[in-house]
Structure 1
Amino acid sequence: ELYPAELQLIVSRILVEDFGETDYLIPYIVGLLDDYDFSTARSLLDENSELLHSEPMFYYLNGILDLEGGYYEDAVDWFLQGKAFDDGSDIHEALSLIYYVYIPEHVSALFSAIVLADDEASLTSNIQEFMVNYEELPWILSWISRVPEPKKLVEILSEEEAVISYNSVNFDMEKISIGFYDVAGVLQGNVANAIYGQFLDARTYVYISENMEGVFVEGERKARFDGFDVYSLSPDRSRFLIMDTWGETISMVNNDMSILWSIPAEYSMIPVAWSPDGSRIAISTGWDIYSIIDVESGEVIEALESYYDLVFLSDEEVYAIDYDGDIVRLEDESTLDTNSPALWAGFGDNDKIIYFEYPEEYMDFSYDSLHVFDLNTGEDKIVSDRALFMDAPVPSLKIEGSLLYFTETDLEGLHRIVVLDYTTNEVLFESSPSRDVLIFPDVRPE
């Protein structure tokens, strides 16, 4: 009852994985496209580039994966390189494989028109035919020509104006993007269909792409991690954790964008927590199990099998929020004398714990008080009474040294991003109000 493509994938997988038959690599990789395993397909092409460098399909398959990732210019370059090794028998098969990846129909048609051209005359003819077949293009181009071309992310990062980034979510239009703003809150540019972005440094940005299904690094440093849809940046921005789409593997990415280690872990949606010094990380790795992992080695230092809503770390100790909302120091199982039950907490400077008060009604987007609790004095103060907390595997509130980045709303439901020095209560940045939901703020490091 198997389809031919399924049978081809099974046979080629056996021949490649069990018998090392590299002659079957190409059909194996084609089968991976049919199986939507783009990450493994990319890895195999990279690992076997020397072996496959004279095969036209090596270039075509790389081009198809770049099409899937939205890198259209790179995809054209791959196909043109492939044509140099092709006698004309492979390119049409390669173009038929495009249906394995999602790209708009007009992009697919234009791409075919470009790569099938043999010279400037045929390129002109092919594109003119494309224009005839898509009669709405002149109307679209008439409007596009009225406004300047939007800045690419690398251009935004090369300039000095953008100082803060955050997501804007419009549920009515089903639209999400990352915006980059100057100190006055004026938009300098954005990245569409992207969720949860942060600055790795002043010239490099890492984000999750909603439609490309991966974690992308752009700017002075470049990298892409296909098949991953969560990442968590270390406090010193030197490395980040990535978690695969299926929730089965976590990997640590080093400063040079190489994978430091990978371990199997069935992570959950509970926010990842780093120790302030970046040496350890706490992750929910199963039902009622939290793993404390050494960041350098990937070794699981401790596995906590108990009933906690959240585990978080100081530089030396492990803390947790139990099901009653109490913050507990696990070394001696003592309960902190906070004023309110907590939903989320993290460590700041000078033995201060920032925590989000447990809302009366838990929702995907919750609004309640944000507290700063001093471990030394027992003082518990509220720094915002309408802060936003989002149910996600990364915190929607960010602590960096003495600074706290968060979203708050007013009584009219307008959202603002706030950057607060929680040691002095000085507001360092406040965005313009927005009816969109604003989340995941980050400040560009100097």
Structure 2
Amino acid sequence: MPPQNPPSIDEVLATIAERDGELNSVVHLFDPPLPPTGDGPLRGEVLMVKDNIAVAGAPWSAGSSTRLGSPATFDAECVRRVREAGATIIAMTNLDEFAMGASTASSCFGPTHNPWDITRTAGGSSGGSAAASAAYAVATLGTDTGGSIREPAAQCGVVGVKPSGRQIPLHGVVPFAPTYDVVGPIAPTVWRTALLDDAMRCTDELSDAVQRGARGSLSGMVLGVVTQMADHRNSLEVRDRFAAALDACEWLGAQLVEVDVPNIVDSLSTYMTTTSIEAIPVLEEHAARGPLGEEAARRLEHALSVEPAEVARAVRHRRELNAQLRRIAAGHDLLVSPSMPIVAPALSRPGLDDPLAAPRTDWWTVEANIAGLGAMSLPNGRGKESGLPVGLQLMCAPGTDARMYFAAACLEPHVA
């Protein structure tokens, strides 16, 4: 399978000059761009990096005014690896403050707008990365604590992956909730996403899987359709696109079986409680540097006030859901669901920038972080009513990410 050609640096810069005034996806441009330090599979790839990941000379602001004026003096390990693989880094991208949010509305740089409709959110917290990937056809790095790669990827119509396990080091990444945080790739196609993911993991297994999948079928694969993620809580246009994706899976030879995960109904509250507790030392450290943004300050206040009994319940439920999801994932080749129950909401929607508001956009993504599953949002066409992108989520047992990439390569031409 020949790789899709990425745009040139000049092409990307020209499009940024034309569009980013209204999108606000880029918070720092390197002039000149940072050249690769090696020659490998990412040769020719123009890359942008979420600004909570250290790139020497970049702001490393994590969307917070408390971190401005202290640029990074080194490359995060994931950045070192992609530069060694041949990537040229051209810019840093916008995000919610400390990656705590689902819209980038809490960024000290202001919100990122959706390339498909600038009145809509690009999602969060990696909204700048996803919007840039969609608007400028670049590959980007993001972080995912509860869906922060997959949600904006779904809303902007690109591929976004939360890797399973800890193969990609977090050295040089501003922490949010360390037992949940992962670095992952966002790109316009499955192939380019796999190349970037491989470079960060120091492997070629994922791009090999994509090459096989692009000329294969899903025959013999058993896909679990998670009942609680596929029901009436999804909007009608999301349900319609999900049904079309399931038809494509069956046409490609997959066997579909319904999977019941009743504990999912409490997963979002469990996520909010446990991540808030983990974030206390992170937020206290930043609060010592200067005033936090409104949403980050509210999260810290909330975390410090949570009753011990509530924390104990959340920790227990996290453990139970982790075990249940891992067991179910191990019994199927993949689990499938919509990436989000809705398309990109309006930026002005009340509560959209509140990290404690348990937004609907998080409903189907936090589970993969709770259980350490691999998860991908694959473009799944556009909603009939809104005309906005819809995402299909694939999830896999830890250590089986190549299987997820294989299936995504099979599906990509049939659902995009």
TM-score class, shorter-chain normalisation, is: under 0.3
Q: Which has the higher contact order (CA 8 A, sep 6+)?
A: 2
Larger proportion of strand: 1
TM-score (norm 2): 0.27
TM-score (norm 1): 0.26
